Amino acid sequence: MKFLSLLIFISFSTFAQQSYIDYVSPYHPVVGKSGMVVSQNNLSSDIGIEILNKGGNAVDAAVAVGFSLAITLPRAGNLGGGGFMLVYLKERDEIFYIDYRSKSPLNASIDNIFDLNGKTIKPKDFTNDMFNKTRYGYKAPAIPGTVAGLLEAHENFGKLPLEEVLAPAIRQAREGITVSYDLEKAIDDTHQLKKDPESLKIYFKDGVAIKENSLFKRPDLENTFQLIASNGKEGFYEGDIAKEIVKSMNENGGLFTLEDLKNYKPQISEPIVASYRGNLVFTAGPPSGGGITLLTALNILSAFDLKKFNSDSAITYHLTSEALRRGHNNRSHFVGDPDYFDVPVTQLLSKERTMELAKSIDIKKATKSTVVKPLELINESRDTTHFSIIDKEGNAVSNTYTLGYSFGSGVTIPNTGILMNNQMNNFAYRYGDKNIRGRSASTGNRFEPGKSPMSTMAPTMVFNEEGNLILITGSPGGSLIPAAILRVITGVIDFDLDIGQATMLPRVHKDWPTTGILYETTLNSDVVRIINKTIGHKMTPEHTMGSTQSIHIINGTNYGFADLRRPNASVSIQSN
């Protein structure tokens, strides 16, 4: 009898121990009940928490993180780029969309961008060498919106004085950071930095990229941050910084004027929204095409019961890919800057359009691109970055911003430390070319002076049927952004996975009108074979897709996960 009692005790003890240490998956979310910051750099995440600990809210923390990433992640974090932000204010139960996308200079034209000297050129005659002018150097940047966007958010929704919000980033620029392996390799791999004298001086020593573990101080950015802290938006768009930008542009064939900078204004409006399994998904509207792609795909998937299939089944990847392809079709024709083009958002996301697209999917076979028709109406880089933040009051920020390519145009404005974007590369210069089916001939994204180019950035928030915020997410990745976000949302909602598991599910991308599926090599080889041989998709292995930085909120507890696809990403939390 004693032996039996001892056996039962040991069994229960063993069970209790196993139930504690035998975790569901190796991808452990960070758990907290107070403020949380998830960004692509651990030092910047910590700065966000520093601001929360000083009494700042999620918006204050977002501004601090946005400035800090210009130091810690200069290939994507920036002052010289632009982006989109969602802000949720818990007490007011309101959500706002801030569009601070870069804009084309007002005096820009096809002639002076491509140095045609008055020569007329047909869309089909554009060459790759010509397009390099919009990729690298002083013709590539559009008017930067980052500083205006972050400070617009602070002015409307922040709590702390701007000087206090920027103080940690100023300290970080002055004291420097330790160069990571990733930063050294990113610099060494970026040829356009070597062609700009100021960038060469900052990021290289004797022609060699700054070394891992060396101290990287940024007195140039420290001075720029100080001017902005003291003078706000005017410190960037009208004062000494603006003059330095225009002076450098004039000396190097750039197109900016002081008026371009002074007149730049971010836009605050409502995000676009769709319902998915009873949850409301909010994301960036035009000029984001990524938001349209994401919501189109979710609308289509609503017509299919994904719960019947495993999260990693061939059918799940097939349906996800077909939904994404149709989402990209929606964005490839009629999405652009709403100040210049009447984007038919309602029609693109309508029930009628959704059913038309859903009915064109064969659950057993891949669909030809010609079957996916545009709505009938009269290459982005992957080097972007996203961060998600929630404070102890439940206010939240989802922010994605970019320089375009890694390190943007490669141009650093002398005496400022400001790396400039290459977003002039994102316009459809071949508008009207009947030989092109893809986005480079998009009606909505045709080049015009003063216009914002379409982007795939799509910061996202999800609210459940009770109206509670349950997910904050977003990703870099260019045209792969919707695929990354879609996989996280369906992982959480359809397959009831925790945020770590949902984040690390293998991802697929299917664009329009290109053929085939890009897939991460972590996808099961048997599933790849079934999708290829049985369902009929051409399968192409791809490097990692995106880098989602997410917070999943369950019953008042925050679960944060920094995507493992890119190094140095981190979740930082306030003490409970």
Per residue in 314-343, pLDDT (tens digit) is 999 999 999 999 999 888 888 999 999 999
Q: What is the pTM assigned to this prediction?
A: 0.93
Is the pLDDT at 568 greater than 50, yes or no?
Answer: yes
Specify the pLDDT at position 429. Answer: 86
Is the pLDDT at 243 greater than 50, yes or no?
Answer: yes
Specify the pLDDT at position 367. Answer: 85
For the chain, how many structural domains are there in total? Answer: 1
The reply to whether 461 falls in a domain is yes
Dump pLDDT digits (tens) for 341-386.
999 999 999 999 999 999 999 999 988 766 665 554 335 556 799 9
The reply to whether 537 falls in a domain is yes
The reply to whether 557 falls in a domain is yes
Q: What average pLDDT does the segment 121-150 reach?
A: 90
Specify the pLDDT at position 379. Answer: 52
Of 412 and 515, the one with more pLDDT? 412
Is the pLDDT at 496 greater than 50, yes or no?
Answer: yes
Q: What percent of the chain has pLDDT over 90?
A: 82
Specify the pLDDT at position 518. Answer: 94
Is the pLDDT at 504 greater than 80, yes or no?
Answer: yes
Dump pLDDT digits (tens) for 26-39.
999 999 999 999 99
Q: And the tokens for 377?
A: 């109406």
Q: Are 211 and 179 in contact (CB under 8 A)?
A: yes
Measured CA to CA, the distance from residue 124 to residue 556 in angstroms comes to: 56
Is the pLDDT at 23 greater than 80, yes or no?
Answer: no
Specify the pLDDT at position 372. Answer: 62
Is the pLDDT at 12 greater than 60, yes or no?
Answer: no
Is the pLDDT at 575 greater than 50, yes or no?
Answer: yes
Specify the pLDDT at position 332. Answer: 84
Measured CA to CA, the distance from residue 486 to residue 327 in angstroms comes to: 11
Q: What average pLDDT does the segment 244-256 reach?
A: 97
Specify the pLDDT at position 275. Answer: 97
Specify the pLDDT at position 519. Answer: 95
- The structure tokens 């697929």 sit at 508
Band (pLDDT 50/70/90 cuts) for residue 273 is very high
The reply to whether 190 falls in a domain is no
**Looking at 19-33, 161-175, 424-438, 546-560, which range is the least confident one?**
424-438
The reply to whether 357 falls in a domain is yes
What is the SS3 assignment for 83-102? EEEEEEECCCCEEEEEEECC
Specify the pLDDT at position 10. Answer: 45
The reply to whether 194 falls in a domain is no
Measured CA to CA, the distance from residue 357 to residue 372 in angstroms comes to: 7
Q: H or E segment at 66?
A: helix 58-72
Q: And the tokens for 62?
A: 């977002």
Is the pLDDT at 288 greater than 70, yes or no?
Answer: yes
Specify the pLDDT at position 557. Answer: 97
Active site residues: 384
Specify the pLDDT at position 6. Answer: 46
Band (pLDDT 50/70/90 cuts) for residue 11 is very low
Q: What amino acid occupies position 231?
A: N
Q: What average pLDDT does the segment 238-251 reach?
A: 97
Is the pLDDT at 391 greater than 80, yes or no?
Answer: yes
Is the pLDDT at 199 greater than 50, yes or no?
Answer: yes
Dump pLDDT digits (tens) for 544-566.
999 999 999 999 999 999 999 99
The reply to whether 297 falls in a domain is yes
- The β-bridge relationship of strands 570-573 and 36-39 is antiparallel
Mean of all residue pLDDT scores within the chain: 92
Specify the pLDDT at position 369. Answer: 67
The reply to whether 273 falls in a domain is yes
Band (pLDDT 50/70/90 cuts) for residue 98 is very high
The DSSP 8-state label assigned to residue 143 in this structure reads B
Is the pLDDT at 14 greater than 50, yes or no?
Answer: no
Q: What is the DSSP string of 292-355?
A: HHHHHHHHHHTTS-GGGS-TT-HHHHHHHHHHHHHHHHHHHHH-S-TTTS---HHHHTSHHHHH
What's 348's domain CATH number?
A: 3.60.20.40
Specify the pLDDT at position 78. Answer: 96
Measured CA to CA, the distance from residue 375 to residue 359 in angstroms comes to: 15
Radius of gyration of the chain (CA): 24
- The structure tokens 């400001």 sit at 418
Specify the pLDDT at position 9. Answer: 46
Residues 6+ apart with CB under 8 A from 115: 133
Q: Are 345 and 515 in contact (CB under 8 A)?
A: no
Q: What average pLDDT does the segment 412-436 reach?
A: 88
Band (pLDDT 50/70/90 cuts) for residue 3 is very low
Q: What percent of the chain has pLDDT over 70?
A: 92
Is the pLDDT at 169 greater than 50, yes or no?
Answer: yes
Specify the pLDDT at position 436. Answer: 64
Owning domain of residue 550: 269-366+455-573
